[in-house]
Structure formats: structure tokens, C-alpha cells
Amino acid sequence: MTQFSRFVVIMRRAGALARRVIGAPDYEAYLSHIRVHHPHTVPLTRGEFARDALARRYERPGSRCC
Amino acid sequence: MISSGTPNLRRRIASALVWSLVALAGAVALGRVALGRGEHISAAWLLVAALCTYAVAYRFYSAFIASRVFALDDARRTPSERLSDGRDYVPTNRWIVFGHHFAAIAGPGPLVGPTLAAQFGYLPGILWIIVGVVVGGAVQDFVILCASIRRDGKSLGQMAKEEIGPVAGFTALVAVLGIMVVLIAVLALVVVNALKSSPWGTVTIALTIPIAMLMGVYMRWIRPGRVLEASAIGLVLLGLALLAGRWVAERPDIAATFTLSGRTLALLLMVYGFAASVVPVWLLLAPRDYLSAFVKIGVVAALAMGILVVLPPLQMPPLTRFIDGTGPVFAGALFPFAFITIACGAVSGFHALIASGTTPKLIERESDARVVGYGAMLVESFVAVMALIAACALTPGVYFAINAPIAALGSTTQSAAAAIANWGFVVTPAELDALARQVGESSLLSRTGGAPSLAVGMAHLFSRALGGTGATALWYHFAIMFEALFILTTLDAGTRVGRFMLQDLGKHVWLPFGRTAWMPAVVLSSALIVLMWGHFLWQGVNDPLGGVNSLWPLFGISNQLLAAVALCVATTIIMRMGKARYAPITLVPLAWLVTVTMSAGFEKLFSPLPKLGFFAHARMLLDAQSGGRLPPGVTSQSTLLQMVGNDYLDAAVAAFFLLAVIVILADSARVWWGLLRGGMPVRSTEVPFAPRASLAGD
């Protein structure tokens, strides 16, 4: 079982890495930021955050190249 | 303490020895590449020359810039911490930033440019890629990244405005928009040339659109935010799309529906670009982007494996007779056109937008900028080396049959073989027919734009690496699919970004035009930007010389213009830091780029050869018209007048780019003069030093 749970942890880490490399919105990072720096505000939901992050990604040159 | 000094000394000697060996291996390989005559040299020499040069440059030159110019300091707070918001500004592990930055800078540019420049032979291309990147491209990316990190992640445009002046800032802004338009047009043309009369390719690429939409719906409604699950599904479906394409291509009755002309494909791409700019991002753009990032990294790795396993001998000579400017792939002599044709891979101004965009907001420690800025550009350069190898591993006969325009080859394999024999290379009509059959196409003649010849090269490498030629057709269409996938990702995202830029500029004329959530403004600005690149695409599709001939140099000039802007900004920043003695680090590549851009632009405008100069071409057409005849490939009087109009437009665009170089250079020189002569105070414009908060926990 420990073998398996270690495998799960590794896969989860690899997944997080892949998500961040391709530039997918990182909700967990956002949540932990809000928890640490603005503990009294209500964070966006996962869906709201994703929508907002995507809209901003395609507004300026600087995320895409030739 | 003698005992602690000895191992230290031993380590230093070992290090000096290793680096001397790396430098020596690189020098020997470069010498072999440059001086090898007579026989076909192995691709291994190119790889060794490139990798050793990169290693030495990274170890010593990037370290020199990091310590002497910027004095990068891990104790200094970066914007990701100072402005941390959990969204744009997020402290991120350096290898993740590296991957992210590489995926953002690597596009079709480093694949297409070297393929086209192979018409000069492999030598000019390989030398420019290797030397250009270590003293130009990687320096530009690295310096701009550092400058942006020290200025809260400001963009290149903002820095141009604040460091040089409003004139340079505005010129840079308009130039970026112009570059986007030319870039999208030329990339769309590459896709059109790869897909025309190819039912297999067309079906596969068309299917990627519903696949992306399916992924979008999955991530939005079915399993919100599950990017990796959706990407896995998307990748499996891409494989099926490849097989579906073959299934269609094997059935003549259905295949006929998907056998499209260049014009039809061009119109479809314009409709697609417009739709992608108007529909919500989650539906099309974002899923496509994720898919393309995975495919991009996967294919680059696969290409490296294929080349390493096969180590193909280079069939192309080191230099061809076309260095004199008579080449069929694009017009113009070795100088300056080799340096315009290969932009991405050696030095690409576009990267300055990325290095001052998302990336500086993610950097956690200042020293990470070295591997991200300098290092990622070296990897992109290596991609360009691999593309050059794939093109030069084809026999020259096959290479020219695929890349020369119909006007030079005629429309049959017999006429093509005869034309190629005239240039001194051997290929038989039967070989060309067999090759087309092998990759599952009706013909490979005059598929200009670089993508098909790279796909043939890759298909050969992959099928040789894995054994058996049975799968060559599958590999060919796989390569076409991946190139088209990431070209279309640039096209749709670029159209959207262009739309926002246009709205931003347009609001100064008419305020409501700038409202990004107001449908009429969105539709109008999207239509405008599509019409702008669509015009150049349409012109390219109808050009008897193949379009790439006039559009790719325009793209190269515009990209190098942007690099000149970036290097002007970089030089100004270095001088403002009071380090003018290190200014040659950016001034030398700047001087070279200005020389290359100006002379290429000047030739495109004023060369007396109709193949090269826009004005000469227009004059040739008008002379033909007044003589009462139509030049070859021109069907009617009205087409002829249209072509003349296009020549003037191309000339105007080239002239604008040259003017922009002069304006920005003059404005920068004014500032440099002031800084050096004491007219302006030498004061750093960086955000003042503050220590990293998390340093204690390190």
C-alpha cells in the first residue's frame, strides 16, 4: 500500500508540473495565496478563477510566439 | 588548512580540463562542418558543434552577463514575490518556468526558417544558428527578461516608452501589430500549402477543431478544471483523426469532397480565425493550446531521438550555387537573406514579448533568469538545428522538388526533374512519383512553405529509427498534423491578441471601439484584423511564385526589426545602470541586425530584379501589360492590376518596417548620447533592492 500511495503522490506531482508547464490556471496556488495574504476575503470559485485566468491569457501579446 | 585547499584545487583543475575538452570538441566539430568537402558528412558533426558551443556559451558568457551586467542576486526580491497575487505573479520553480517559457517561445518559426534556408546548403544555416543564438538571440531574451524582472514585469512596449521615449514606444506598438499581421499571414500560407489537394491532411486538421471544442466542453461542464484528463482524451482523439484522414483518402468518392484548392483553404482559415477570435476562449483557444503544448514538447523530443538514433548523412552540399541569389525557394543572395530567413532559432524579436510578458512574473529567484532566458533560447536554437538536419538529409533533388514554386518546376514530375537537372541535381520522375505514393499524397511538387519537406524528412527519420517503411505515410501526416496544429494555435491566439491591440489603438479614434465586451466592437475589430492578414494570405495563395517568396522575407524583416527594438531597449537599460562599458554585449548584435534588416529591406524595395524587388516586379507586370501580353501564371488583366497593387502594398509595409528601425535607432541614439556625454543623469530605473522575505526559510 505504501508503494502505491507513493506512486499516487509522484503521479500527482507530475500532473501538477505538467499543468503548470502548459500554462493551465493553477487554482491551488491561488487558494493558498488568498489563505496566506488575504485570509478575510472570499476566494473565487474554481470555475470563476479558470474563466478569469483564461480571459486574461489571450489579451496581450506575451503568451505566444512564432 | 592545506587539506581543504587541495580538493578545491583538484576540482578546479578537473573543471578546467572538462571545459577545455568541451571547447575543443566543439571547435573540431565546427571545423569539420565548415571545411568538410567532397563526401557527405554525418549529422553528428552538426549536433556536436552546436551542443558544445551552447555548453561553453551558457557556462561562461551567460554567467558573465549575469554577474557583471546585472549582478543577479538571489537575496533580491522578484516581482513574483513583491506583487504576488496568486494569478499572474506566482513564485514558481525554475524548471517549471523553463518549460513554460520554452513552450511559449517555440513555434513553427525555428522549423520553417532553416528548412527554407537549406537552399543555400547546410553551412550558412548552421553557422548563423549557432553563432547567432549565443551572441544574439539568447542574449536578447536573457537581458530583456532580467530588465523586466527588475521593473515589476513591465512589457517591452512599456520599457521602450519609459527608457527611450514616447516616440520609440509608439513605433514599437504599431510595429508589433504589423508583425502580428505578417506573421499570421505567412503561417496561414504554410498551412494552406501543406493541405491543398491533400484530403488526408485536410480531414485530420479539420477534425482537430471539434476535438478541441469537445475538450473545452469537458473542462467547463463535465469535469471542470480537469486539464490533464481532457488533454489525454484529446491526444487519443488526435490519433484517431489521423486514421480517419487515411480512411477518407483511400475512398475516392469521399476524398473528392475534401480535396480543396488553395483558395478555398485560405477562405476557410479566415473564417476559422474570425470565429476563434469571437467565441469564448474556453471553447476553442485554451484546449487547443494545451493540446499543442503537449504535442510540441513530445515531437521536439521525438525528433531529437530520431536524429540521434539515425544520425543521417547530409545529402545537401555545404554551399549550393544559389548563394548568388538565383535560388528557386526564395529570392536573394546569401547576404543578407540567410539572416532574414532564419530568424527564430538564431535571434527572434518576438521572444522579447514573452520575456517581458508572462515569464518575468513567475521567476522566483533572480538567478533562475539565466537558465530560463538564455537556456530556453539555446533549446529553441537546437530545434532549428534539427530542422536544418531534417531538410539537408533529403537529397537535394527531392528538397527542390518540394520547395521550388510551380513557376520554376512546371506542373509534372517530368518537367520538375528536367528543371532540377538544370540546377545540377539529380532526381528522376519515377522517384518523385514513388515518394508521393509512399507518403500517401497525389503529388509533392511545389509544396512550398517548408512544412511538407520537413514532414518528409521527419517521416524518413522516424520510419528508419523504428524500422520498416510501411508507416511512412502515417508519419508524414503525423508531422503535418503537428505542424499545422501549432501553426493554427499561433493563428487563432494571434488573431485574438491582434484584435485586442487594434481595439486598444482604435479607442483613441472612437471610444466605443475599445470596449472589449461590446459585441459590435468585438465583431468589427476581429473582422478588421482577419481582413488584414487575410489580404496577405490571399495574395500569397494567388502568387505564381508561391507567395512564400515575398511573404517570408517580410516576416523575417519584421521579426528582426522587433529584435532591434529589444536590443535598443536593452542597450539603453545597460547604459542607465552606469555600465556603458558592457554595452557592446547588446550593441554588437544590434549593429548586425540593423545591417541585415536594412540591406534586406532595401533590396526588397529597390532591387532591379523582378524576382527580388517589389517595385521591379510591379514594373515588369506593367511593361508586360503595355506590351499587350500576360506574364506566365497571370490569368487576366484584372489579376495583373491586383498583383501590381500587392507589390505596392508589400513595398509600403517593408518601407514602414525600415522606417521604424530608423526611428527607434535614432531615438535610442539620442538617449545614449545624452547618457554618455552627461546631458542626462545616469540613474538606474530599477525597482530598488528589497530582500526576499522567504530567504530565511531557504
The residue extents of the domains of chain B are: 17-197+260-505+535-677
Q: State the amino acid at position A13 in one-letter form.
A: R
Cβ-based contacts of B289 with chain A (< 8 Å): 22-23
Task: Name the residue with higher pLDDT: B580 or A26.
Answer: B580
Q: What rounded mean pLDDT belongs to chain B?
A: 92
Nearest to A64 among B92, B227, B494 (CB): B494
Q: State the amino acid at position B250 in one-letter form.
A: E
* Nearest chain B residue (CA) to A47: B224
Choose from B83, B84, B87 for mutation: most chain A CBs within 10 A: B87
pLDDT of A63 reads: 61
Q: State the amino acid at position A33 in one-letter form.
A: H
The tens digit of pLDDT for each residue in B518-568 reads 899 999 999 999 999 999 999 999 888 788 888 999 999 999 999 999 999
A50 assigned to some structural domain: yes
Nearest to B294 among A22, A52, A60 (CB): A22
A30 assigned to some structural domain: yes
Residues B195-222 have a mean pLDDT of 94
Q: Quick one: three-class SS letters along B242-303? A: HHHHHHHHCCHHHHHHHCCCHHHHHHHHHHHHHHHHHCCCCCCHHHHHHHHHHHHHHHHHHH
Asked whether residue B182 carries a pLDDT value surpassing 80, the answer given is yes
pLDDT of B106 reads: 87
Residues B427-440 have a mean pLDDT of 94
Lowest mean pLDDT among B60-74, B172-186, B254-268, B369-383: B172-186
* Domain count of the fold of chain A: 1
Cβ-based contacts of B356 with chain A (< 8 Å): 62
pLDDT of B260 reads: 96
A49 assigned to some structural domain: yes
* Nearest chain A residue (CA) to B353: A62
Report helix, strand or coil for B327.
coil
Nearest to A24 among B227, B358, B501 (CB): B227
Nearest to B225 among A18, A50, A57 (CB): A50
pLDDT of A62 reads: 60
Q: State the amino acid at position B118 in one-letter form.
A: A
Asked whether residue A45 carries a pLDDT value surpassing 90, the answer given is no
Cβ-based contacts of B526 with chain A (< 8 Å): none
Whether residue A23 and residue B104 make contact (CB cut-off 8 A), yes or no, is yes
A51 assigned to some structural domain: yes
Q: Which helix (H) or strand (E) holds B448?
A: none
Whether residue B497 and residue A50 make contact (CB cut-off 8 A), yes or no, is no
The tens digit of pLDDT for each residue in B636-651 reads 888 899 899 999 999 9
Residue A20 forms contact with B (CB below 8 Å):
yes
Cβ-based contacts of A38 with chain B (< 8 Å): none
Cβ-based contacts of A41 with chain B (< 8 Å): none
Residue A39 forms contact with B (CB below 8 Å):
no
Cβ-based contacts of B184 with chain A (< 8 Å): none
Range of the domain at A40: 25-58
Q: Quick one: three-class SS letters along B152-204? A: CCCCHHHHHHHHHCHHHHHHHHHHHHHHHHHHHHHHHHHHHHHHCCCHHHHHH
From the list B351, B348, B335, the residue with the least C-alpha distance to B558 is B348
Phi and psi, residue B226, nearest 5°? -85, 80
The confidence band for B629, taking pLDDT boundaries of 50, 70 and 90, is: confident
